[in-house]
Amino acid sequence: MATLEQCRSALDKLAENLATANGDLRSAAALDRSVSCWITDLDTTFIGRLVDSRIEDVTTAPGPPAERAQIRLAMTGDDLVALVDGELHFARAWGAGRIKLEAGLRDLLRLRKLI
């Protein structure tokens, strides 16, 4: 099972990847939205803001998200680490129910380029 530190490191790596992306990937992530990622097996939520292809102001809170972020993810710590390391394909994991993604329709359409 991934630790909280490994999950934080994976989110930092994801933020770095988004910040250095180019072309369609960068434009897809160029949103200004609140985001949350609930790590179900650790019962911890990472909360932040996606701004101009960067994830900023990331904090942690115990349990599921207390407030409804505009983009919401839920997964295990192992799946987060595998996803960021390129070992887990997002669309397959999402289709299998291993990763849950909730967002408004407009955001989902833009985020599909990231998926």
pLDDT in tens, 38-77: 999 999 999 999 887 778 899 999 999 999 999 999 999 9
CA angle 66, 111, 113 (to 5 degrees): 155
CA distance 68 to 70: 7
30, 32, 34: which is closest to 47 by C-alpha? 34
**Model confidence pTM above 0.85:** yes
CA distance 85 to 52: 22
74-114 pLDDT, tens digit each: 999 999 999 999 999 988 999 999 999 999 998 887 776 66
Q: What is the dihedral of CA 26, 103, 77, 89, to 10 degrees?
A: -60
